[in-house]
Amino acid sequence: MRPAAVSSLALNPVPRAPGAGPDGPRTGAFFDVDNTIIRGASSFHLAKGLYLRGFFRKRDLFRFGLHQLRYLTFGENKQQIDEVRQRALEIMTGHSVAEVTAIAEDVYDEVLLLRIYPGTQRLLDEHIAAGHSVWLVTATPREIGEIIARRLGATGALGTIAEHKDGYYTGRLVGDMLHGRAKAQAVRAIAEANGIDLAQSYAYGDSTNDVPILSEVGFPCAINPDRRLRRHAAEVGWPVREFRTRRRNARRGTTVVSLAGLAWAFGLVARTVVRSWRGSHDA
């Protein structure tokens, strides 16, 4: 962690407005995606879109739904993320990049667009208006991150890269999952390549797994933080912005939404079982 970032914000925990610092692309703004820009896990909604187009089985969707519920209720867990990642890679093997990208576009229009926090979008728009280099930094597949970045007018996206050959996914990753410290390494690399001054830059995240990127910049800010990040932000003097409608009920509300999605997935499985039973009974 950079001492300079902590000491400057310990004296002034109020968030610095995007327009209060230098304009232009040498100032960066790095945004996490899930629960920072978009409510919930964007990859779960992509999984639903893929399921509806016949990519995988109902029990896979049910598994992803459980992950979504745990994520919204308890925050990120690396072991769970790794498990979901491995199954997702298996599912994607042999499918074309063009096909998945087209489905991701539909998922954005049908679902993700409606789940963007208006407060975060205003903040992102302010950075764009100031001419800053605005990057989304997410553990979700880069294809999703790039679609969200393009639709929101951001400079680009850094995400987990699924290997593909001749336009088809191989089931392997290029490098590691963009998570935790890997996010910070990616931010440093993009800053060096584009002449971004990290000391004058901003970063936004919702969980302790975003602490590495928040620690890389001069002006970090926790958005919709989970309990651990909120505690850490208080300890080091980082400002907090809450864009959920009601802080006290925000986690409960997202859990209800997740339970609804999980019930939807469970209902699909149950209906299939009932149909199978009826078919065999009638026969």
Q: Dump pLDDT digits (tens) for 168-202.
A: 988 788 877 788 899 999 999 999 999 999 999 99
- Look up 34 and say whether it is catalytic: yes
Q: Write down the catalytic residue from 23, 34, 60, 106.
A: 34
Reported confidence tier of residue 73, pLDDT bands at 50, 70, 90? low
pTM score, two decimals?
0.75
Q: Where are the domains of the chain?
A: 3-282
Residue 12 corresponds to which tokens in the numbers above?
């002034």
At residue 271, does pLDDT exceed 80?
A: no
Nearest Cα neighbor of 28 from 132, 138, 120 is: 132
Per CATH, domain 3-282 is 3.40.50.1000? yes
Confidence category of residue 65, pLDDT binned at 50, 70, 90: low
Render pLDDT for 8-53 as a digit per residue (tens, 0 to 9): 344 447 889 998 889 999 999 999 999 999 998 887 777 777 778 7
Marked catalytic residue, from 23, 32, 82, 166:
32
Is 210 one of the catalytic residues? no
